[in-house]
Structure 1
Amino acid sequence: MPQNLIDKDELIRQLMADRDRLFRENSRLRTATNIAPEEMQQVHNDQLAAKDTLINKKEALLRQKEVRIAQLEKQVDYLKRQLYGGKAERYINPDPQARQLELFEGVDLLPGEKEAATKAEKEIISEKEARAKRMEKAKKSAVRKSLPENLERKIEHLYPEGYNPQDWDLLDEQEPLYTEVLIKEPTKFYVLRTYRHKAIRKSDHLIVTADCPVKPIAKSYASSSLLADLMVDKYVDHIPFYRQHKQFERLGMKIPEPTILGWFQQVSDLLMPLHFRLWELMKKTNYLQCDETTLPVVRNDKHKTVKGYIWLVRDPMSGREYFYWDKGSRSGEVVLKLFNGYQGALQTDGYERYELLDGKKGIILLSCWAHARRKFSDAIKNDRERAESALEQIQLLYEVERQIKDQALCFEEAAKLRVRLAYPIMVRFEKWLVAEHAKVIKGSPIEKAILYTYNRFNKLSRYHLDGRYNIDNNGIENAARPVAVGRKNYLFCQNDTAESTAIIYSFMGCCKAAKVNFRTWMIYFLDHVHDYDQDYTRDIAELLPDNLKDAGVL
């Protein structure tokens, strides 16, 4: 018998599978021969179209991913600059000899415009080089300053080891060697108890009791100095109230947190009439700057932190500042309500809601060159040649402002210098924007910078008409810094205390502008605010920091 027997069932299965395969193949061939060539071509075209659609979808997806990657890379670069890079926005070419003026040679300028721009640029650069030489000559080595003479000094004497007056003679009794160190002692609390004596007058037997001292907050043991320190620690040194509560405990004084919050609210209530009066006076001026910044607040109904906006208005002439809170809104209604009745120039950033004022009679909008410069600075990696060329032209405008500052020119002289030097540069720059916009890629950072500047160029160029106007809005952005630093420390405000926060920041800014110590002013205000409770003939504006300084009180 053979060693390997053939399995009949397996053989039958293989034969059936082969016959089934052959049958299906013959059926497919039979069907294919019955299809018309046009239909075969259509099926083939449909298959190719499906493949093309799939490829297009993949390419679109890749383009979206590339755009998203570019956006994320831009964000990462920005965050790196914020963390590790320099914060100054002033543009300085690392190679002053490497000029980028080739791009401006092809601008279609009138002969007179070209000559004026070239002449103005040469004069600006010449003055810049002269100022650099003066600054280099005036440089001095740093010397450590001695401690202020007005500080109290306690004296101690150290003698050589084994010294006694009988066996030793002092060689430097008149001018001994000495060293000084600065000593700080902890703050301390003390209680001022005031006795109110009662006496009888012998002539008419009239009994009289000494008047009770007027307190800033009725029926409270908080003094003006304590209340002022609470405000200074919170808004100048950015120490939240709960940390101050802990500090008080370390000094042996327990003041409940609700009590501290109540004092804060009552102090802001006392300041509110002066806050209203401050805005009345500022609206009577004819040149203001405005900006807004975020202030997180906790909504009492949902106990959730939301982003609110606090508005800041600054008078560049007097330096007065007015912070305004309107339920955290940033809408155009706030702009219209805040500047209702105002007549004059208003300098702002590029926020579109300010455009609602552009058509108002008596209001002139000014834009900020620092914001335009920032756009080109962000576009350097996208188009270095055009971005640096634009930045150099903007830097020429700022050089004119430095000449005005260095020479301490009056407003009339400043306006004349701007017309002579800055205006020709701006004429050339505006035509360059038009010419270069047609050559850049749509949607690129450099195109956005060009559009941003050109769309606001009429508002950007108006500053040269009046010597009082500033070239940018940096003054008000610097004034908003305490809010930015504060929100990093106390993190958020309660919704019902945000308006009080705006009031405190307003007078902090006014004190800084008037070069008045905020604590000193706050104590004086709390001690004298009730003098205006009954006498309505007096103007509470007398208590503004700059008015008190002018009167010689502070």
Structure 2
Amino acid sequence: MKTSLSTVVIDQDYVQIPKSEYEQLLSNYQNLELQLSELKRLIFGSKSERFVPNTDALQLGLFTEETSEQTEVVQQQISYNRSKTKKHPIRLPLASHLPRVEQIIEPVHIAQGSIKIGEEITEVLEYTPSRVYVRKIIRPKYALPNDAGIVIASLPSMILPKSNVGAGLLAHICVSKFVDHLPFYRQIQILKREGVVVAMSSMTGWFSKGVTQLEVLYEVLQKAVLQSQYLQGDESPIKVQDNHKNGSLHTGYHWVFHAPVERLVLFKYDPSRSAKVPKDFLQQFSGTLQTDGYRAYQNLSTKHPIKLLACMAHARRYFEKALDNDNARASYAMGQIQKLYAIERKIKERTTNTQTIKRYRELCAKPILEKLHTWMQQEYGKVLPKSAIGKAFAYSLNLWDKLSAYTQDGKYLIDNNLIENAIRPLALGRKNYLFAGSHKAAQHAAIMYSFFATCKINDVNPYLWLHDVFKRLPEHKANKLEELLPQNWKNPAVV
């Protein structure tokens, strides 16, 4: 049996090695080249995945024969006049709901007999630092006649009865950390500038006890999420201090679930990234789950059947990374995916019902998907499996049924971008507070991220919502807690 040989030039010397060994070396080289390219982009490159097709490149050179043409250069002199319109910036009007503090400035010298004929009004946006004050509750005591006893008014319900922090300050602390990404030590410094000294132990204790009070509402949110028929899932790491790991941090995970139809978001912390986490959480769920290609979501053994969808944005990301490796193939794939997203943009502009969306996708998106699938199957055998373009083909082909299944229902989305947007505050927060102090603290963070992400997608002011919840929660009926969830909450100041 003959062994196929390949000739390799090394320092002008010809060396023959087995073809299989040559292909292995070439595959390893391309794999290392891909890793180096990703590292360079991570450090120096742009994070944007926006694709602008190059019309000058021969993208379809793979499928058409090359032609040679003689080009004649003709010089022409063109003259024209161009009129340029200078654009002036338009200042937006100041918000009408803001209170107005009037300042009237009269002229220094007004001649006697002058008559006011009008006025010039200039509005300037001003700011007063947050006001910290002490709420002093006075309850007079009265002795009843005939020694019948003493009467005194009941103390108003408080979120933390044995503490000296009010609902407003507690809500401000939570929003500042998990919405504005201000760690506790920075908040303490801000309060100190206003002459208010708060110990770190006090602030962390207030926060921990406040989140404990919200756990009952978090359970209601979790139940509402599991009752949805369509969920998106993802996970994101978080560093956690662990007493069992001296000198190092444990990597835990926030598992995130988003219900696009009901506009709900749930963060759930777990020390592990194993498949057991989504399996246990989704035991009562029945419907469709959209995720990336992570194997933990595949073949979930739950009480009810779960249909899986894949994320087109993740598939596109693989081809975007392959542009340097095989520009022609990667550009063609991204161009076809770009057409699919153009269809989705038209759907958003028209805001039609789910039946119309499904029909529109069947007419416009399905032919593009079928053409792209056939092309991938034909081209996959022509590339090295470990190359960037090879990995892009493998990812998409392995998940193709799940990638294209979004066309089967109008309520499905083409990708998981909305849940990635919900995770972004977590990524920003990690850069500020670096790690969670314990596994319990990581779960407390998950509770706050759940509520604030749900506030964001429902266009609810997080501070007004949390302040009101802290005031109402101690006496709110347990069977009506869903009224306090952000998507159901009514601002008492407006109602």
TM-score normalised to structure 1 length:
0.76
- CA apart distance, 1:75: 2.7
- CA apart distance, 1:188: 2.8
% of aligned pairs identical?
36
- CA apart distance, 1:370: 0.4
The partner residue of 2:192 within 234, 238, 249 is 249
For the residues of structure 1 that align with 2:388 and 2:464, how far apart are their CA atoms? 49
For the residues of structure 1 that align with 2:162 and 2:426, how far apart are their CA atoms? 32
Aligned residues of 1:318 and 1:513 also touching (Cα < 8 A): no
Matched, 1:325 2:269: yes
For the residues of structure 1 that align with 2:451 and 2:54, how far apart are their CA atoms? 42
The letter for the 2-side match of 1:147 is L
What residue is the counterpart of 1:79 in the other structure?
42
The letter for the 1-side match of 2:101 is K
What residue is the counterpart of 1:122 in the other structure?
none
What residue is the counterpart of 2:91 in the other structure?
144
For the residues of structure 1 that align with 2:93 and 2:375, how far apart are their CA atoms? 54
Aligned residues of 1:104 and 1:432 also touching (Cα < 8 A): no
Structure 1 runs (4+) deviating above 6 angstroms are 52-56, 58-65, 550-554
State how 1:95-174 maps to structure 2 within 5 Å. 95=55, 100=59, 143-157=90-104, 163-166=108-111, 169=114, 173-174=117-118
The partner residue of 1:92 within 52, 55, 58 is 52
What residue is the counterpart of 1:12 in the other structure?
none
Aligned residues of 1:291 and 1:476 also touching (Cα < 8 A): yes
Aligned residues of 1:367 and 1:460 also touching (Cα < 8 A): yes
For the residues of structure 1 that align with 2:375 and 2:34, how far apart are their CA atoms? 27
State how 1:307-318 maps to structure 2 within 5 Å. 307-318=251-262
The partner residue of 1:490 within 425, 433, 436 is 433
What residue is the counterpart of 2:481 in the other structure?
540
For the residues of structure 2 that align with 1:373 and 1:149, how far apart are their CA atoms? 44
- CA apart distance, 1:360: 7.2
Structure 2: runs of 5 or more not aligned = 1-14, 66-86
What residue is the counterpart of 1:274 in the other structure?
217
For the residues of structure 2 that align with 1:99 and 1:208, how far apart are their CA atoms? 90
- CA apart distance, 1:350: 1.3
- CA apart distance, 1:144: 1.8
For the residues of structure 2 that align with 1:257 and 1:147, how far apart are their CA atoms? 38
For the residues of structure 2 that align with 1:243 and 1:156, how far apart are their CA atoms? 35
- CA apart distance, 1:479: 0.5
The partner residue of 2:33 within 57, 61, 70 is 70
Cα deviation per residue 1:7-41 (whole Å; 9 max; x = unaligned)? Answer: xxxxxxxxxxxxxxxxxxxxxxxxxxxxxxxxxxx
For the residues of structure 2 that align with 1:396 and 1:264, how far apart are their CA atoms? 48
The letter for the 2-side match of 1:481 is R
Cα deviation per residue 1:400-426 (whole Å; 9 max; x = unaligned)? Answer: 111211121110000011111111111
Aligned residues of 1:358 and 1:364 also touching (Cα < 8 A): no
The letter for the 1-side match of 2:109 is N
Matched, 1:441 2:377: no
The partner residue of 1:378 within 306, 318, 321 is 321
For the residues of structure 1 that align with 2:27 and 2:414, how far apart are their CA atoms? 39
Cα deviation per residue 1:132-175 (whole Å; 9 max; x = unaligned)? Answer: xxxxxxxx985221222332333445566xx42246957x7512
Structure 1: runs of 5 or more not aligned = 1-51, 107-139
Matched, 1:214 2:157: yes
- CA apart distance, 1:60: 11
Aligned residues of 2:290 and 2:308 also touching (Cα < 8 A): yes
Aligned residues of 2:176 and 2:182 also touching (Cα < 8 A): yes
Aligned residues of 2:27 and 2:387 also touching (Cα < 8 A): no
Matched, 1:340 2:283: yes
- CA apart distance, 1:217: 0.3
Cα deviation per residue 1:467-501 (whole Å; 9 max; x = unaligned)? Answer: 00000000000100000000001111111311100
Of stretches 476-485 and 429-438 in structure 1, the one that deviates more from structure 2 is 429-438
Change beyond 3 A, Cα 1:212–1:175: same
Aligned residues of 2:286 and 2:306 also touching (Cα < 8 A): yes
- CA apart distance, 1:520: 0.6
- CA apart distance, 1:91: 2.5
For the residues of structure 1 that align with 2:345 and 2:492, how far apart are their CA atoms? 33
Of stretches 437-446 and 224-233 in structure 1, the one that deviates more from structure 2 is 437-446
For the residues of structure 2 that align with 1:351 and 1:290, how far apart are their CA atoms? 10
The letter for the 1-side match of 2:99 is E
Cα deviation per residue 1:368-425 (whole Å; 9 max; x = unaligned)? Answer: 0000011111111111111111111111111211121112111000001111111111
What residue is the counterpart of 1:516 in the other structure?
460
- CA apart distance, 1:189: 1.9
For the residues of structure 2 that align with 1:146 and 1:439, how far apart are their CA atoms? 60
Q: RMSD in angstroms over aligned alpha carbons?
A: 3.2
For the residues of structure 2 that align with 1:188 and 1:359, how far apart are their CA atoms? 52
Of stretches 191-200 and 411-420 in structure 1, the one that deviates more from structure 2 is 191-200
Change beyond 3 A, Cα 1:141–1:395: farther
For the residues of structure 1 that align with 2:28 and 2:307, how far apart are their CA atoms? 44
For the residues of structure 2 that align with 1:100 and 1:75, how far apart are their CA atoms? 23
The partner residue of 1:227 within 154, 170, 184 is 170
For the residues of structure 1 that align with 2:231 and 2:318, how far apart are their CA atoms? 24
For the residues of structure 2 that align with 1:429 and 1:525, how far apart are their CA atoms? 50
The letter for the 2-side match of 1:88 is S
Change beyond 3 A, Cα 1:206–1:167: same
What residue is the counterpart of 1:260 in the other structure?
203
Higher helix share: 1
What residue is the counterpart of 1:428 in the other structure?
371
For the residues of structure 1 that align with 2:320 and 2:32, how far apart are their CA atoms? 20
What residue is the counterpart of 1:530 in the other structure?
474
Cα deviation per residue 1:51-83 (whole Å; 9 max; x = unaligned)? Answer: x99999x99999799557524531343225xx5
For the residues of structure 2 that align with 1:520 and 1:276, how far apart are their CA atoms? 21
For the residues of structure 1 that align with 2:303 and 2:63, how far apart are their CA atoms? 37
Count of matched residue positions in the alignment of Structure 1 and Structure 2: 458
- CA apart distance, 1:429: 1.2
